[in-house]
Amino acid sequence: MAFRNRPTLDRKHRPRWQDELRSQQLIVAGFAVAIAIAIGIFGATSWSSYYDSHLRQVAYVGGLSVDRDALTQRTAVITAELYAKRADLLASEGGARNDQVQQQVSLLEQTLQQIDGVATDSLTTGMFMRSASGGLGISVSDAAVDEEVAGRTTLPFQLQLSIITVSALPAGAGPNDKPTTAQWAAAETQAKALLAQVKGGKAFAALAREKSADQATKALNGLVGWVQDGDPTYGPLFTAAKGGKVGDLIGPVKGDTDYTLIKVNQVRKAAPDAQFKSLLSAVKATDGDYRSYIRDELLKDAFQTYFGDKVLSKYMQQRDVAQIQIQSDPQIPLPTVRVRHILVQPQPGASDQTKATAAQWAAALAKAKAIRAALLKPGASWTALASADSDDTGSSTQGGDLGWLDPSNAQVVPEFKTAIQRLKLNEISEPVKSQFGYHVIQIFEQRTSADEQASAIEAELKKDPASFAKVAARESVDHATADKGGDIGWVAPYEKDQQLETAIFALTKVGQISPPVKATDGSLYIYKLLDTSDERYVDADRLSSLKSAGYPRWRDKLKARLGFWIDPQFESTAATGS
């Protein structure tokens, strides 16, 4: 049996239904491809959104990453606490404390606006401190966490108070005046009489409005508002009234210069903060999440205590140094001139010199000419003459020094700018009149940049190290030390910027001079070692300054050793004392 191939129809002989079927198949296939692409795009978008919301890395601490989920959890905890505080503050509005309440609410709202950064700082600093604490012997006990949690989740005992104050001082008394025995007696008698009126039925609010000497509460019918223990203004009144009940009258209570009658309007006993518990639950945060946050907060306190007690001490290694401070360049280094002047005003100290008479202007000009003549004499001292004769209080104690100025763009009056554009180096101008008076001006240095000036000074000191004091007096813009040969006294660790401290403590031999070193503000410094001490006493004021200024540097050193990175999008601009 023979088989033959089925004949193939050309396009024009193909049945119409086959063409329609083929078109439908192509359309379906096209839709399928489009749907597949859409699903792919949706899936990629969804994954990207999920990644950004949950898995995106916002920080690395000691090789461990912090993802968005962890940050969201910490953000929720802090937000719940801040909103609970805000609600409690808003509930205490009214009375003389209202401004304080509003300031506190405003600070909370500013923190909430930066909550991502604040939470990132809290979480990453906590991770860093937990990692570093073991090696330093720092720990936070569960009992300490329990106590802190209890304190922060309990609304404090508060009283709403009103007052009537009777001053023991007469009207017009000075701020430092103290009442006499007779004045105290008279004030006490008056206060007791007011108390008798209230007990006799006179409205406390009306009497406060009529008789109280306390201006902050007088217009508010005596209402102080809600007060608690430790209030900086009304704390003593809270202490006096804390045993009272609603409606009780307390006093007269003797103050520094007055007697005060106190009325207890309302009492709020200490109680758990139900609002906070509700908010914590609403953001799906657990008690464990909150305890972790509190432990990190206590670790911050523990690290600061460790720094003050273990890193610092009353006796520390120190260096006695002199310095030459070189003023920083503007953002774009330009050729600049160092200018000094002595100002003579026709009406010394007046805010508007244009009201001076012609005779007063003539006298000012004569004095300015005499000062110029004195400056032209050999050995003349700008420091002495500016101190004695200049009416510019900002520069008179600095030898008239106005610092480094760009002659083409100096922020000075036009007449002064024109003068410094025309003056040659070391030339002393004729008196220049401006709206402020007559100026005697000198350009006494020129430079193209701070680095160039520093290099020139360094080269000069290498040739003649003994000239340091003379060069400091001539070049340093720190006038408080320039007149003392640049001597700034003893320097302890953490007392200067890191770059400056490194340069100072690299000096080991008395007389040794450092190369120029740049500070964070762009100023350049050259130091000379005058003396050293391995253990020198640090007084209480200096030690307190070191604790506050030095702690962030010490902490950041530890962070750098551990390895610490935060995505700039989540960095805090508010958290500075962590």
Q: How confident is the model at residue 2 (pLDDT cuts 50, 70, 90)?
A: very low
Report the pLDDT value the prediction gives residue 240, as an integer from 0 to 100: 95
- DSSP-derived secondary structure letter, 171: T
Amino acid at 565: W
- Residue 282 covered by a domain: yes
What's phi and psi for 204, nearest 5 deg?
-60, -45
Report the pLDDT value the prediction gives residue 332, as an integer from 0 to 100: 76
Judged against a pLDDT cut of 50, whether residue 121 lies above it is answered with: yes
What does pLDDT average to over the chain? 88
**Ordered DSSP codes for 345-393:** -SSTT-S-GGG--HHHHHHHHHHHHHHHHHHTSTT--HHHHHHHH---T
- Torsion of the alpha carbons at 238, 244, 245 and 249, rounded to the nearest 10: -90
Check: CB of residue 476 under 8 Å from CB of residue 482.
yes
Kindly report, residue by residue over 85-120, the tens digit of the pLDDT: 999 999 999 999 999 999 999 999 999 999 988 988
Judged against a pLDDT cut of 50, whether residue 351 lies above it is answered with: yes
- Residue 479 covered by a domain: no
Report the pLDDT value the prediction gives residue 519, as an integer from 0 to 100: 94
Q: Are residues 65 and 126 in the same domain?
A: yes
Q: Are residues 148 and 278 in the same domain?
A: yes
CA distance 11 to 53: 57
Rounded mean pLDDT, 236-240:
95
Q: Are residues 344 and 245 in the same domain?
A: no
Give the residue from 407, 427, 447 where a domain finishes: 447
Residue 202: which domain range? 158-170+180-269
| Residue 374 CB coordination number (10 Å) | 16
Rounded mean pLDDT, 61-76:
81
| Residue 564 CB coordination number (10 Å) | 17
- Residue 473 covered by a domain: no
Check: CB of residue 533 under 8 Å from CB of residue 317.
yes
In total, the chain counts a number of residues equal to: 578
Q: Are residues 281 and 143 in the same domain?
A: yes
Q: Are residues 151 and 277 in the same domain?
A: yes
Q: Are residues 443 and 571 in the same domain?
A: no
Q: Are residues 340 and 406 in the same domain?
A: yes
Q: Are residues 253 and 277 in the same domain?
A: no
Q: Are residues 370 and 303 in the same domain?
A: no
CA distance 391 to 382: 14
- DSSP-derived secondary structure letter, 248: -
Residue 506 CB-density burial (10 A; 0-12 exposed, 13-18 middle, 19+ buried): middle
The CATH number that applies at residue 430 is 3.10.50.40
Check: CB of residue 483 under 8 Å from CB of residue 469.
no
Q: Are residues 375 and 420 in the same domain?
A: yes
The number of folded domains in the chain is 3
- DSSP-derived secondary structure letter, 321: E
Rounded mean pLDDT, 461-476:
94
- Residue 576 covered by a domain: yes
- Residue 503 covered by a domain: no
Give the residue from 411, 428, 447 where a domain finishes: 447
335 vs 370, which has greater pLDDT? Answer: 370
Query: Three-state SS string across 226-243, please?
Result: EEECCCCCCHHHHHHHCC
Q: How confident is the model at residue 22 (pLDDT cuts 50, 70, 90)?
A: low
- Residue 570 covered by a domain: yes
Question: What share of the chain has pLDDT > 70, as a percent?
Answer: 88
Q: Which of 37-46, 125-134, 153-162 has the lowest mean pLDDT?
A: 37-46
Can the peptide bond before residue 515 be classed as cis, meaning omega within 30 degrees of 0? no
Which residue in 138, 143, 147, 73 sits closest to 301, CA to CA? 138
Report the pLDDT value the prediction gives residue 562, as an integer from 0 to 100: 82
Question: What share of the chain has pLDDT > 90, as a percent?
Answer: 73
Check: CB of residue 301 under 8 Å from CB of residue 400.
no
pTM score = 0.72
- Residue 296 covered by a domain: yes
Give me Rg for the CA atoms of the chain: 38
CA distance 305 to 127: 18
Judged against a pLDDT cut of 90, whether residue 51 lies above it is answered with: no
Kindly report, residue by residue over 517-539, the tens digit of the pLDDT: 999 999 999 999 999 999 999 99
Give the residue from 388, 420, 447 where a domain finishes: 447
| Residue 573 CB coordination number (10 Å) | 9
Those residues with Cβ within 8 angstroms of residue 240's Cβ, 6 or more apart along the chain or in another chain: 250, 251, 253, 262
Q: Are residues 299 and 434 in the same domain?
A: no
Judged against a pLDDT cut of 50, whether residue 265 lies above it is answered with: yes
CA distance 305 to 301: 6
Q: Are residues 185 and 150 in the same domain?
A: no
Check: CB of residue 159 under 8 Å from CB of residue 241.
yes
- Residue 257 covered by a domain: yes
